[in-house]
Structure formats: structure tokens, C-alpha cells
């Protein structure tokens, strides 16, 4: 894994908001920021078959893109972040997964719009496409959630092999902003009296505490028959600025399509999420 953050942008409002998070995350973990934008002509222009019109449009889009890049470069550099920019041509949904795979970043930062349904807005978006087709951690930033720092982070874990490595990244971020990490595990209410589960949690807590290079850690074992509901309650109680969740070995993509609590966690709460 390389010490870089990849920030894909279409120069939309939601993407521009995500830039604030990308720059501040890069500052926290002292990483290089890679900004990528793809020029793609709409069907109406391509279907004309008029190469002169096509070339003029491409030239215009390229000029506008470089202007946007310059503004972003200046914004990041003034905050002490090293930047690389990539201007590519073609379908970003096809290009981006390989671009990310080749560079193996510590984090991908992408914006997303608010939605009436997750399926229409998140799962049908470039963000969801990248999530499905890359293994890199991704920070998804809602359009209307301004950067306010990271005073509190909720890390929802499920005893995955990558938990410690994921926590190490979160601790670097939290340390920079002097934030607290709430390390949360949700069990079903039927396991309240299960001593094996309690011991497993306590062993994990001991392992993390011994290995941790950061002290502002809070461990939270809670019970709910709905995991997402349990995570949501942890977010609300802690007033966290960021949710980090491990999903790779759980079928989270399909679960996120469910109505109700999952939508509330991802959109109505407007909490930025790092998906490991």
C-alpha cells in the first residue's frame, strides 16, 4: 500500500466538498494527494460524427479541466499537501478501478449526493462502482456535510483480520486532530448473557490497547437485533464526525440497498464513512 490518497472528481458540488476531506486527510497521514478527472463527451456530440466539433469540444473541456486542476492544486499546496493531477479521457467508471488498483492508495476519497433512495443515488453511482471493484479503503463524503474536523470517530468492527491495520490508519488521523475513536461492536440482544462473546470482546480490547500508539480510545460493546441500528445509535450518542466500517467479508453492498435504518445511517445522518 502506497502513502497516497486518490481523489476522483467531476468538479460537481459533491466532489468539491469531498476535496476538503481529501486535503485534510492527506495532511493528517502525510500523504501525497492524487487528483483524477476524466473528460467524456456526451452522446449527442459524438453522434454528429463531425470531428471538428468533437475536437473543439474536447479542447474546451480540457482547458476548463486544467483551470479547475490549478485551483485545486493551489488549495492543497497552500495547506502543505503534495499534489499530482491526472486528466484522462473516457468512461471514468471503467478507468477508475484500474487506476486505483495500479497505485494501491491508503485511501480513496469520493463525494456523493443526498438521496431519496440509496439504490438510485449511491449504488448507481461511480462511487458504488469503485467500491465494488477495488479493495482500497474508501471515504464517502455526503454533499452537504462540511468539514468540521474530526473530534470523534466511530469504528464499527466485526473481528476481521484487518481490524488492527484499519485502526492504525484511524489512529494516525485521530492523533493529528486530537480526536477520540469509539471502537464499537454490535451483538444481538440474545447474546447479552453470552460469556464467550464478552471474553472475545475483552481480548480484542486488550490486544488493541497493548498495540495502540494512541491513547484516546473508547471501547463500546452494545446489543441490538439490527446491526445497522446498533451502529446508528452509536453514531448518534457519540456525535461522531466520521464512521469507519469494515465490510469486505460481509455482504454490505446488498444490505445497504435495504430501506430504513441503513439509509438513515448513510444519508439522513449525513455522516462521512470510511469503508474498509
pLDDT of 200-248, one tens digit each?
999 999 999 998 889 999 999 999 988 878 888 898 899 999 999 887 5
User: How many whole angstroms from its chain centre is CA 145?
Assistant: 13
CA distances from 131 to 76, 153, 190 (A): 25, 21, 33
Contact between 213 and 227 under an 8 Å Cβ cutoff? The reply is no
Which is nearest to 257 in space by CA: 223, 215, 228? 228
152-275: CATH topology: Rossmann fold (3.40.50)
* Cα separation, 123 vs 32, whole angstroms: 28
Under CATH, what is the fold of the domain 2-142?
A: Rossmann fold (3.40.50)
What strand order describes the sheet that includes 138-142?
Answer: 83-89, 32-39, 2-8, 105-112, 138-142, 273-275, 242-245, 152-156, 180-187, 217-223
What torsion do the CA atoms of 170, 125, 17, 261 make, to the nearest 10 degrees? -60
What's the CA gap between 132 and 123, in Å, rounded? 9
Long-range Cβ contact pairs of 159-162 (< 8 A, separation 24 or more) = 159/185, 159/200, 159/204, 160/246, 160/248, 160/249, 162/246, 162/248, 162/276
Confirm whether 2-142 and 152-275 share one CATH topology: yes
Q: What is the pLDDT along the chain (276 residues), one digit of tens a residue?
A: 889 999 999 888 888 889 999 999 999 999 999 999 998 767 666 667 777 777 787 888 999 999 999 999 999 999 999 999 999 988 888 889 899 999 999 999 988 764 443 433 443 466 666 777 778 898 988 877 889 899 999 999 988 888 999 999 999 999 999 999 999 999 988 887 888 999 999 999 999 999 888 999 999 999 998 887 888 889 889 999 999 988 754 345 444 434 434 444 544 457 888 988
Query: What cell does 191 get?
Result: 447474546
Contact 30, 159 (CB under 8 A): no
- The residues spanned by each domain of the chain are 2-142, 152-275
Q: Kindly state the helix (H) or strand (E) to which residue 245 belongs, with its residue range.
A: strand 242-245
Amino acid at each position: 500500500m502506497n502513502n497516497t490518497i486518490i481523489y476522483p472528481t467531476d468538479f460537481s458540488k459533491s466532489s468539491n466538498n469531498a476535496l476538503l476531506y481529501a486535503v485534510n486527510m492527506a495532511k493528517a497521514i502525510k500523504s501525497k494527494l492524487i487528483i483524477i478527472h476524466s473528460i467524456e463527451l456526451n452522446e449527442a456530440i459524438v453522434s454528429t460524427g463531425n470531428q471538428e466539433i468533437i475536437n473543439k469540444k474536447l479542447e474546451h473541456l480540457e482547458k476548463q479541466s486544467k483551470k479547475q486542476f490549478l485551483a485545486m492544486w493551489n488549495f492543497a499546496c497552500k495547506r502543505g499537501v503534495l499534489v499530482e493531477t491526472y486528466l484522462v479521457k473516457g468512461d471514468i467508471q471503467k478507468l477508475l478501478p484500474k487506476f486505483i488498483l495500479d497505485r494501491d492508495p491508503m485511501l480513496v476519497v469520493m463525494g456523493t449526493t443526498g438521496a431519496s433512495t440509496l439504490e438510485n443515488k449511491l449504488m448507481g453511482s461511480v462511487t458504488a462502482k469503485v467500491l465494488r471493484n477495488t479493495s482500497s479503503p474508501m471515504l464517502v463524503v455526503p454533499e452537504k456535510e462540511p468539514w468540521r474536523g474530526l473530534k470523534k470517530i466511530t469504528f464499527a468492527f466485526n473481528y476481521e483480520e484487518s481490524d488492527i491495520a484499519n485502526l492504525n490508519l484511524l489512529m494516525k488521523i485521530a492523533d493529528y486532530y486530537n480526536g477520540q475513536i469509539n471502537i464499537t461492536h454490535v451483538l444481538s440482544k440474545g447474546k447479552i448473557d453470552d460469556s464467550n462473546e464478552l471474553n472475545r470482546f475483552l481480548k480484542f480490547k486488550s490486544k488493541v490497547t497493548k498495540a495502540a500508539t494512541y491513547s484516546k480510545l473508547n471501547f463500546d460493546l452494545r446489543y441490538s437485533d439490527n446491526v445497522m441500528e446498533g451502529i446508528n445509535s452509536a453514531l448518534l450518542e457519540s456525535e461522531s464526525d466520521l464512521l469507519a466500517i469494515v465490510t469486505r467479508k460481509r455482504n454490505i453492498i446488498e444490505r445497504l440497498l435495504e430501506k430504513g435504518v441503513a439509509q438513515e445511517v448513510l444519508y439522513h445522518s449525513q455522516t462521512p464513512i470510511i469503508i474498509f
